[in-house]
Structure 1
């Protein structure tokens, strides 16, 4: 009976562990942008990738790490070149009604924004720059 209770307690404790496991080291260190796509040639994905590559300096200054998730494959950084299979990053099926989706995850690990289409970087930057921790970063850098 005791073993059963211990097993149940551990199951409950670690029930969400697999999906968030790879984002854990980034918590409080980086913001994360997850780009979900069913194809690297999807127009919304290409639009978002191109904008992020052009805005590379702004991406870095906002401590933003970009992941591309295509099916069960995950690639960190842009352009998506090096793939790993079956990483328990997030559920790859979410946000793919239109073949593309994105999620912005804050420093605290919470999802701050979702979209099923590419987002202008100005909109993304306004969202990030309005976050309390980003405002504190800017204040500490004397930019506010």
Structure 2
């Protein structure tokens, strides 16, 4: 799996879930929230990166973790032990927060974006 988030530009939206500890309730609940809405994530072309200080994995399953601190160092800005970032199709950061992101809020945020509106129009035809 590529560590290069830019490789997803114009193909996928990216969710970065950064944590200091994958055993925290906050992190575990965030992943469960996404797992319970996988169809909505797929429909919105979302790829989830789970990132901790020295490793990362792509997806929501128990995938193998890759050794690297590059993503954590590049994207972690909050002093909070948990952070979530939404990167749009254009590669820009669309949302950043230090608390659990529920999928209803996530989907509302994405569904008002111009490219998403275009995707929905194209689906109708």
Aligned partners of 2:19 and 2:27 also within 8 Å: yes
Larger radius of gyration between Structure 1 and Structure 2: 1
Query: Are residues 1:73 and 2:47 paired?
Result: no
**TM-score, normalisation: structure 1:** 0.78
> Which residue does the alignment assign to 1:121?
103
- Residue 94 of structure 1, CA deviation: 1.9
> Which residue does the alignment assign to 1:99?
81
Change (3 A) 1:119 1:138: same
- Residue 39 of structure 1, CA deviation: 1.3
> Which residue does the alignment assign to 1:42?
24
Task: Identify unmatched segments of 5+ residues in structure 2.
Answer: none
Equivalent residues in 2 for 1:1-144, closer than 5 Å: 22-86=4-68, 88-91=70-73, 94-142=76-124
Change (3 A) 1:75 1:113: same
**TM-score, normalisation: structure 2:** 0.89
